[in-house]
Structure formats: structure tokens, C-alpha cells
Structure 1
Amino acid sequence: MNISRRSLLLAGGSLAAAATLAACGNNNPLSSPTPIGSTSASGSASDVTLQQWYHEYGEAGVKEAVERYAAAYPNATVEVKWTPGDYSSILAAQLLTNDIPDVFEYEQGGSLDMIRAGQLEDLTELIGDQAADFNPAVMKRFTFEDKIYGIPQTIDMQLLYYRPSLLEAAGVEPPTTFEQLVAAANAVKSADIGGFFAGNDGGIGVLGTILIWASGSDQLTEDRSAVAFLNDDFYAALTSYRDFLRSGGVLEAASAEWYDGAAFVNGEAAMQWGGLWSLPDIKKAWGDDVAVLPFPAIGANGRPAVPFGAFGSCVAAKGANVDASKAFAKWLWIDQEEFQVDFSNSYGTHIPAKPSLVAQADKLADGPGKDAAQFVSDHGFANDIMWSGALGDAYSTAVSNVIKDGKDPKTEFAAFEATAKTELAKLQS
């Protein structure tokens, strides 16, 4: 799968069981087994040459932009490698060779496997007090055992779109609790429009993990030795969503998936769970009749929730030019704020990783964009670094069994808990 800026939101099988994203750009599988599209900056003031890797972005202009950033660096020659195909697998294989990229981006600032293998340089000292300049929710996810292994580049997120005029006509307020979401969806639905849409699987895939956060729990305990959400609030959240599906308020089949935005644009649903990346198309279709919310709190102990993802710039610990690589990464992703705003604002709609730069992003200056940027700071959650693929897959299966097949949540998650303990023990070792 060609990874997009938001496909990292789906990593680990935890936010969507099946994700062939078509949003941030081209997600058709590409067969190229090796990176292509090398560009070299010229006229540097140093004999050092650095190799910088990016995955293939779908938005027009991103490749040219990162090449321009590299060419502006005065202290080394920076060669940009544009990498189509399965970026994570290609990068993982390359890091085991003698030709290691000096600087490379990776989802959520690096993986546990990379950290345990000693492949990522510790950037804690490099970032220093400037860590406070970045979105705190993002920096929390980029930190493992008090060390920071990546510098955030930009942020993507998911959120709830709705048309205020339709809710007003139905006599309901914008939902801030799950109960209000259910009531609003059933109030606005008609023979011509669905109430709420979150995917052609009924929303189970993309909303599965969100039910943990929205019901008031976290994925793992503080020491990451066990899951932290197997409680009555979580079980009630599962059955509440099951009841919502059965109520008829959820549109379960639309012209496109949740990440596309087409169902909302086409007027198939009055409310849709989607991505910030769809905002330009949605505003083009509905103008000012668009507003956004986080996923609402579920139950007495619940809280609003929005999942976010951020690619981070990492430095290879075993590279040939570690100090020069760290200097370049700091220059680009900490010091060059003009480039950081350009990267987030000029190619699609994304949130600068530094809250202080949000005001410079004109797509986030007001309305839904401004609200969305604040949601990440106030309600942002990301998969724990130890929420592994196997654990995420087991979770998705249990959620589907409860919501889709009507099975008892305590029984289904007793089996999941055993799998989780085994997987977490492996990852702790």
C-alpha cells in the first residue's frame, strides 16, 4: 500500500481494519521495489552529503517543496529520495544495509522495533526546551521512556463533520455526547439522506479504537504491561454503538468510504466521520454550512476524542554522518518555520506541528479548520507505540464480534486480554 500522510492513522489494525486510502493522494499499490527520484542540492558550503528519505505524498507539489527545502540548506549537500510503494517495508530493509539514509521520515516519530534495534538517534538533547514549542499530544506520542526519537513535521487528524442547517431544521443541537449523536442522527435522517456515516462497514473499523478513548480509558496501563480499558464503561460503549447501528441512524452504505468525504459532499449523510484532508472539498460543496466536532464522550466517565497522526523526521543512529544529520533535521523541522508552514498549508490541509504556527496557516484561520486544530491539542489521542499489529488485529476482531455479531463484550474481550498479555510481554522483552 502506498502510505499517505494519513494512512499512519490506521497503523496497527486499530483505527480501521481495511484501509486503502484515497484521500491525501494516490493510494494505488506501486510495485517499485527501490526508491526512485533522487534530487541533489548544489552549491553547499560543506563536503558532507546527506541522504534524506520521504514516502510518496499524493498531493501535487510536495516533492518539489521538499527538494526546495533541501537545496536551501547551506551546510551540506542533501539528496532527497522520493520513495513510492510500501515505504515502511522498503525503509526497514534499507536500514539493514550498508547504505543507510541519514535522515528519514517515519510515522509517529519511529517504531518500537527501530528503537530496540538501535536504529534511531536519540534527539532529546537536540530538541531540548524547544519540545515545548510542539503540540503536547504529539510530543507525548513521539516520546518513549523519556527519550524523543523524531521531530514532528505536520499533523493529520479525524473529526466529525456536520451541516448545521440540517440539525437546526430537525430541532437538535450539535452533539457533545454520544447519546446526543444518536438522537441527532435519527432526527435528521430521511428517505433522502442518512443520519451518520463512518464507513461502509458501519463505522466499526475506523471507530473501534476511538471507543476506548471516548469512554474514558487509555489503551495500555502506564507501565504498558496490560490493556487499561476492560471495564464497564468500555463494554457499555460497545453495546451503545451496537444499538446505534440497529437504530437506523447510521448510514451503512455510501458511494465512497469514510476517508474520501464524498458521502458528505454528495449529500448522502448529514454527519460524517472523516479526515481533515477532506475539508477543502467539503467547504467547496457546502460553503459556510459546515462545522466540525470531536467524537463525543460516551457515558458518565467519557471524554471527547480525536485520533491524530504525525510523520516525524528521524536520524539514523548508525549512519555515517550522525552529527551533520542532526544539524540538518534541527535546521529544517525546528528552525525553518516558513518551510514548516508551507509543508502543512500549501499541499492539502494539515496542521502545523507547532501550535504557534497555526495562525499562519490560512486554511486553519477560521471556521472548521481553526476548530480542528484546537481539537488535537484539547482532545488528541494516538495509538500507543506498543499497540502492535497483532494486538490491534485481535482488538478489531473482538470489536466486530460484539458490534456486528451481537456477542457478549466481556466474553469476547476475555479472550482478547489473553492475546494482549502475550503480545505485550513479547514487546517488553
Structure 2
Amino acid sequence: MNVQSTANKAFSRRGFLGLTAAAVSAPLLAACGGGSASQGGGGAGGSIKFWDMPWATPAYNDAAKKIAEGFSGANTKASYQLIQWNNFYQTFSSAIASKTGPAVSTGGGFQAFQFEEQGQIAYADKVIEKLKANGQFDDFLPGVLEPFKTDKGYVAVPWQLDMRPLWYRKSLLEKAGVDVPTDWASLLEAGKALKNVGAFGFVTGSGAGNNIGNHTMMLMMINNGGGVFTPNGELDVMNDRNVEAVEFMLELVSNGIIDPAAVSYTTDNLDTQWKDGKAAFGPYVLGLPERVGDTSGDIMVASPIAGPHGDKTALVFPNNIMMYTNTPSQEASEEFVVYYLGKLKELWQQKLMNALPVFKSITEIPEFSSDPNNMKIINEYVPIAKTFASQGTALSADLAALDGGQALNQFTQTVLTGKTDAKSALTAFESGLKSVLKK
């Protein structure tokens, strides 16, 4: 869900060093809209100051502003401020340091963990208690809360999910005479057949501002039971499953199944490939058919594929709402978060969100459930999805250094050029991560 006037000018909303898909009429990666951090700390005149990001088209922010300003809990009102994705971490950091920051905000997916380390985050345990009391807690989709729980408490509360589903164009597969890939072996064979009809069987890109390539590399490692971290959060780049995944990616490159120009492709380029019938299969953002203007039913979500050892998973980024210690009233901050979560359904009812909701009840409303691609993702992807923390589950500030950082980007580009071997690429990747991670 990164939004900007051009899709190749991205800034990761999950990490500070470097996505959820934007609403279909908006581009993919960074932000549009206005606003700057200028109000008093926590809230002007004792109100709860809520900072939000351009998660979709301007209509989203108009609706979110209306919801926020409708709050009147704990004898307190709320104000709404739109913050640009461009340089957003600096905006938050400067405001928090000067005590002019928000009481509550959305933002980068790992943002709360970084500010937690600075003692600036208010834990959300009482919010969770309130959600249990009003029945909302049981409405969460399975597994979405756990990544935010630490030994000290809940660092934030999820409100939407950014998934990387696999998409395919049915007519291209039929033209090539192949079925939808179900595992790596059939992906390779389908890719070879698709090449013969002028299509690419695994579509990705790693050009300026395009994180899809990075996500693809992480997805393939995770899909093979690998990942960058151990279950305990220690760095584990060189494990055999990662090596095997990179070897497979290099095989796709060497066979021309991945476009040789993918290393320079922006999201505009990827959109064009899908629109022009050159893209047959690959991971991308939600709402791809609407994004490229083809709602004929030819572009569809594929089921998650299995790795060579039978592993089957998906890549997800859980976006969240966080509270800060600088607030006119911690009770009011908590009441606002509970209130706002309870109003989220309105955003999906108005079809302003091209992201997955975290509440089961929202997945059941007709505005969401009428799209079979949405329901396939909810039913098949969400239950098996993992984050960048894999092989572990707990999110941390370290993930901001991984997501969209130079080490991952250089690793991806090296693999997409095909001018390397798996162990050399992973060794360089590991070295780059060690230089920025605390562990």
C-alpha cells in the first residue's frame, strides 16, 4: 500500500530504510497527499492527535479523517493529520523528540518496534482487554495479533494486512498448454512453455522504488522453509533452504523465465507487462486486475505453491496502529484505538481499501466477499502466511533494517542479473545485514 504519483518512487511503509497495495486507482509504492507535523504534542488542547498515512487514494484519507474526528470518548476529541510517506521516519522522529508528535498513529509496519526501543511507545494491553470485553478480540483473523506481543506487552495492534499473492493470466497458460503451477517443478516447466509463446512465467522486478523483487526473493526462501532469521531471531542467511531457493531463482533467470530486464523494472513496468499480456505468473499486490484495468476474469489469484520439500506459505506484512507515551490521556488514546478499530468496516464498505482486513466480520461483507480473488487470499493465504521474521514469528526493529534496505536490494539485483552463484549471493547478503543489525 505505497502510494505516489508514479509507481516507481517508493518508500517502504513497513521499514524505515527502504508496502501494502494502494487502492487500484493509485500507484503502488510511497505516498501522495499533504500534511506535516506541526501541531502540539499528543493533541492540541488536550485532544488525541491521530497521524495517518496515504494508504490509498485521497478518498481514503477523507473517510479516515471523518472517522477520527467523530471520536468523543473519555471526554476527549481527536484531530487528524496526514503525514507523507516521503521522509516519514524523520517526520515522526523529529516530532517525537520535540514532544510535538502524535498520541496515536498508523505508519511503517516496524515503526512501533523502533520507537519502543526508545521508550516512546505505550503498550496496547489495555486496548486488547477492551477488545476482549466488547467482543472484537474474537473477531481477529487467526494469527494476526501474535507478532505484536512481546515480553513487555503488545507493541501495537494490527488493522490491515498487505499480502503478496501469486497471480496468473489464464489465457496465457492456455495458449502455452500448461496448467497453473502448483509447485516449483511445475513452475519451471510452465515457464519454459510460456517463453515459447512470448510470455514470462515468473514476473518480478527490482528497479528504482520497486520492492516487489525484494519481496519475491524473501517469498521464495520462506516458501522453501527458509528465511533470514532463526525461530529465536538470530541471523540465519546461509541455511540450506535459502541456498536451494536462490539456486532455483537463478535457474529461472538462466532459462529466461524471469525477464532479463527485470533488474531495472519499476512497478510501472510490471503493470505494463500484466496489462499487455506479457506477464503470465508471479507475486504482486492485491487488486491486480483493477490496477491494470482488466477485470474480465482473465487475471486470477493462484493457490500458494509448494516448495521442493512440500513447504507451502505466503508473505504478509501486517500494518498496525500504535500509541505513544506522549499523550494528553493514555485512557483516551486507548479509547480512540478501540473506537477506530470498530469503525474500520466503513472503509471496506466504501471500497476505499485495497488491503486485507484483520477482522473476520469485514471479510464477510459483500463489498469484500463478492470478489473471489479476495476470498481465495483470505481462505488460502492468510492461514499459512509468514512475515520477514521467518523462520521466527515475532516482529522486531531489526526487520526495518532488512525491509527495503540496501543489503536486500543488492542481493535481489545480483540474483536477477544471474551473474552469481547462490552461496556467493547469500554470503554478500549476510555481510550486508551484519553491518546494520544489532545481532
Tell me the alpha carbon deviations over residues 7-37 of structure 1, each in whole angstroms, 9 at most, x when there is no partner.
6476366899xx9999744867779883479
Tell me the alpha carbon deviations over residues 87-106 of structure 1, each in whole angstroms, 9 at most, x when there is no partner.
22211211111223111112
CA distance in 2, matches of 1:106, 1:28: 12
Aligned: 1:368 with 2:368: no
Distance apart, 1:193 and its partner CA: 3.4
CA distance in 2, matches of 1:57, 1:377: 20
Call closer, same or farther: CA 1:348–1:278 in 2, change over 3 Å. farther
CA distance in 2, matches of 1:263, 1:403: 17
CA distance in 1, matches of 2:316, 2:82: 24
Amino acid at match of 1:11: G
Distance apart, 1:271 and its partner CA: 2.2
Where does 1:219-298 land on structure 2 (aligned, <5 Å)?
219-224=228-233, 226-253=234-261, 257=267, 261-282=271-292, 284-293=293-302, 296-298=305-307
Residue identity over aligned pairs, in percent, reads 18
Tell me the alpha carbon deviations over residues 231-260 of structure 1, each in whole angstroms, 9 at most, x when there is no partner.
222211111111111112223448862786
CA contact (8 A) 2:36 2:82 kept: no
Call closer, same or farther: CA 1:152–1:361 in 2, change over 3 Å. farther
User: Which residue of 393, 411, 423 maps to 2:406?
Assistant: 393
CA contact (8 A) 1:106 1:312 kept: yes
Moved more, 149-158 or 194-203: 194-203
CA distance in 1, matches of 2:103, 2:13: 25
Distance apart, 1:119 and its partner CA: 0.9
TM-score using structure 2 length:
0.80
Amino acid at match of 1:343: L
Where does 1:15-414 land on structure 2 (aligned, <5 Å)?
24-25=26-27, 34-35=36-37, 48-75=46-73, 76-84=76-84, 85-108=86-109, 110-128=111-129, 129=132, 130-145=136-151, 147-190=153-196, 192-199=198-205, 204-224=213-233, 226-253=234-261, 257=267, 261-282=271-292, 284-293=293-302, 296-305=305-314, 307-333=315-341, 336=342, 339-345=343-349, 346-360=351-365, 362-384=367-389, 385=396, 386-389=398-401, 392-402=405-415, 404-414=417-427
CA distance in 1, matches of 2:271, 2:304: 16
Unaligned runs of 5+ in 1: 42-46
CA contact (8 A) 1:188 1:270 kept: yes
CA distance in 1, matches of 2:291, 2:116: 39
Call closer, same or farther: CA 1:247–1:146 in 2, change over 3 Å. farther
Distance apart, 1:65 and its partner CA: 0.6
Amino acid at match of 1:69: I
CA distance in 2, matches of 1:303, 1:122: 33
Moved more, 19-28 or 57-66: 19-28
Call closer, same or farther: CA 1:361–1:93 in 2, change over 3 Å. farther
CA distance in 1, matches of 2:368, 2:22: 26
Moved more, 244-253 or 131-140: 131-140
- Which has the larger share of strand? 1
CA distance in 2, matches of 1:9, 1:373: 22
Call closer, same or farther: CA 1:25–1:35 in 2, change over 3 Å. farther
CA contact (8 A) 1:50 1:77 kept: yes
Aligned residue for 2:79, secondary structure, equals: strand
TM-score using structure 1 length:
0.81
CA contact (8 A) 1:105 1:314 kept: yes
Unaligned runs of 5+ in 2: 390-395
Aligned residue for 1:251, secondary structure, equals: coil
Amino acid at match of 1:62: Y
RMSD of aligned Cα (Å):
3.8
